[in-house]
Amino acid sequence: MDRRLNEAILGGDKATFLSLINEDEDHSIIDKRSHGSNNTVLHLASRFGHLELVHEIIRIRPGMVSSQNQKLETPLHEACREGHYEITMALLSAEPSLGYKLNRKNQSVLFVACSAGQRSATGIVSHLLLNYPSLLISEEEGSTTSLHSAASAGHTEVVKEILKVRPEFASTRDSQGCSPLHLACSRGHVDITKELLKLDSDLCLLQDYDGKTPLHWAAIKGRINILNEILSVNLDSIENVTNFGETILHLCVKYNQYEVTKYLVETSNISKLINATNNDGNTVLHIAASAQLLTMATFLLERTGVDVNVVNGMGLTALDVVESHPSCSENPILMQSLIRDANGRNGRDLMIPPQSPRIQTVINASSSSSSSSSSNIIVPAKRSSHERGRPRKSQPSSRDNVNPMTQNTPPRMQHHHQGRPARSNNKFYNKALESRRDTITLVAVLIATVTFTAGINPPGGIHQEGAFIGKAVMGRTTAFKVFNLCNNVALLLSLGVVVMLMSLVPLGWPALRSLSFVAYWVLFAAMLLMEVAYVSAAWVTTPATHSKGTRWELVTLSSFGGVLLFLFAVLALSWRLIRSTRQKWRQSRT
């Protein structure tokens, strides 16, 4: 499009426009379009509301009223979108069939007018509804209606006009399953919400494809005024749940709507929802703990009476959830303290079976008169009131070949008595060993990466030309040979550790403990060899700094290696002391 013509259209300069047209004998300049959008001059004049230019263009080119741009929109779409009522009437007068034109998205001019933000669009909608009623009929086949568009944009008068003609549109759903009330509640349009609820109060019970009601969307977006309006009409809607089993409180906490949560707790009877669980078994406290919402969790614990020890589908309490989400902030620590102060416990503690009430104390005593005999005394606890009427079972005599400790002591106590770790302790010990295995594997992979890189990039470089091209420059030196040997052995050892830990699956923790013990010392040897390889490489690359050949840099590196060896020795000694202490502890328990 000509630059001068474009400026005249945008500015609404009728005189300049006519002069440019008269300069062109065949008036072909008026047929030029904008680059990219393919808009005609009539599209632009209709968009910017230049009524006089619209009349002149229609007079010169009457057929231009039906022209379409790249979006397949006519100038009428532009006028309806911007709410230019007079231009809309002028275009429809020139070509009445324009009212049925659809753009590339299958949107009619009525749909576009309903989504416009100008008040004058109400008059356009009223005219289209009166003269083109079939536009609404055709919308029934689509997923989104003009009422959805008007409700979403907040045009109350337009909504009223559509409801007069097609009130059944209030219950239609779009591609997400949302009704016009869903959209109005989500956007916070109170007047439209009132109009729709006045038409039918049961509209607030409609659910989208995720099971969310308009009340749920109002809670998610924090629209307290919408909540108040819906609950004043239909109080039962507060008990609806989504397809994921989420109540309105779940959604409030999930989207951190503290004010909405406080409003519901203070104004509504939601005692049934406090400890309700979703499909994963999570309460609102689980969700607050997972997101580390300290303020929300404090309010729930202090004002709602939520059960702090509810176990979800994974066997986790709210305290477990907090501990499983580490963070650098202080929120997790404060959250743990808050839950513990409310008598919160871990799920594993809640699932430990209680000890037998018949056994209060177990005393192991050895007879001083005979070293070959021993007696185990069981001191029974007081019988409860409901047990007093029951006959007391006779205890086995000392002549029976029955060990009273084995007979009466629960399995958990038997394990401790025999010097074995309890079943619950085995679980956590096994997890600790698995964690140790993963750490060793990670270090082994790191050593393999370093040694592999050093092997293909030898110290001193490689020959770039000549008969020895590609060979190590310092390959004939003793220091390089030491480096090459130690580096290769360290690589093979680390790879062996990785293969061993990844290929073997131990059946129990004893095998895993033995395997990690072997892998630890193999990895220790690989680290020592890597240190020797490093010192050897430094020997190759460090030049002499004294006339007699003294290598002071090498002295520094050797000192560094000595410090590392000393640290390794300290670690080995510490490990030996820990093992010795552990053995003494086991002997004291047997």
**Measured in Å, how far apart are the chain's first and last C-alpha atoms?**
98
Give domain status of residue 258, yes or no: yes
Q: How far apart are CA 334 and CA 332, in angstroms?
A: 5
Around Cβ 524, how many Cβ atoms within 10 Å? Answer: 15
Do 321 and 298 share a structural domain?
A: yes
Q: 115 CB contacts (<8 Å, ≥6 apart)?
A: 81, 149, 150, 152, 153
According to the model, what pLDDT value does residue 154 have? 86
Give domain status of residue 499, yes or no.
Answer: yes
Q: Is residue 461 part of a domain?
A: yes
Contact in structure between 299 and 258 (CB atoms under 8 Å): yes
pLDDT along the chain (590 residues), means of 10: 78 82 74 83 88 88 89 90 87 87 84 72 80 70 76 87 86 88 93 92 92 94 93 90 94 94 90 91 92 90 90 89 71 84 84 41 36 36 41 41 39 40 48 72 85 81 69 77 86 84 59 73 82 78 55 61 74 77 69
With H, G, I as helix, E, B as strand and everything else as coil, classify residue 493: helix
Q: Assess contact for 501 and 440: CB atoms under 8 A.
A: yes
Query: Same domain, yes or no, for 345 and 363?
Result: no
Which residues lie below 8 Å from residue 352, measured CB to CB, with a gap of 6+? Answer: 424
Q: Are residues 521 and 448 in the same domain?
A: yes
Question: Is residue 361 within 8 Å of residue 326, measured between CB atoms?
Answer: no
Tens digits of per-residue pLDDT, 422-443?
Answer: 444 455 556 666 677 778 888 8
- Is the domain of 495 the same as that of 431? yes
Asked whether residue 43 is domain-assigned, the answer is no
CB 444 within 8 A of CB 523: yes
Would 368 be classed as within a structural domain?
A: yes
pLDDT of residue 549: 46
Residue 546 DSSP code: S
C-alpha–C-alpha distance, residues 38 and 36, integer Å: 6
Distance CA 4, CA 361 (A): 103
Would you say 225 and 189 are in contact if contact means Cβ atoms under 8 Å apart? no
Q: In total, how many domains does the chain have?
A: 3
Q: Which domain holds residue 372?
A: 359-387+398-417
Asked if 183 and 191 touch (Cβ cutoff 8 Å), the reply is: no
**Pair (440, 413) in one structural domain:** no
| Token output for 225 | 């005024």
Query: 138 in a domain, yes or no?
Result: no
Helix (H, G, I), strand (E, B) or coil at 218: helix
- Are residue 442 and residue 372 in the same domain, yes or no? no
- pTM score: 0.55
Together in a domain, 363 and 332: no
Q: What's residue 352's pLDDT?
A: 45
Please check whether residue 285 is in contact with residue 326, taking contact to mean a CB–CB distance below 8 angstroms. Answer: no
Residue 66 counted as domain residue? no
In terms of Cα–Cα distance, which of 319, 310, 262, 312 is closest to 289? 319
Residue 74 forms part of a structural domain: no
CATH of the domain at 271: 1.25.40.20
**Both 405 and 461 in a single domain?**
no
What does the block give as tokens for 400?
Answer: 């029976």
Closest CA to 85 of 132, 57, 119, 34: 119
- Predicted pLDDT at 551: 54
Q: Please give the Cα distance from 145 to 105 (Å, whole number).
A: 13
Q: How far apart are CA 298 and CA 302, in angstroms?
A: 6
Residue type, 294: L
- State whether residue 134 is helix, strand or coil: helix
Do residues 437 and 504 both lie within one domain? yes
413 plus 321 within the same structural domain: no
Cα 581 to its chain centre, rounded Å, is: 45
pLDDT at 8: 82
Nearest to 125 by CA among 198, 133, 189: 133
pLDDT of residue 368: 39
**What are φ and ψ of residue 62, in 5° steps?**
-60, -30
Cα–Cα nearest to 249, from 263, 230, 229, 233: 263
Q: Do 246 and 264 belong together in one domain?
A: yes
412 with 330, same domain? Answer: no
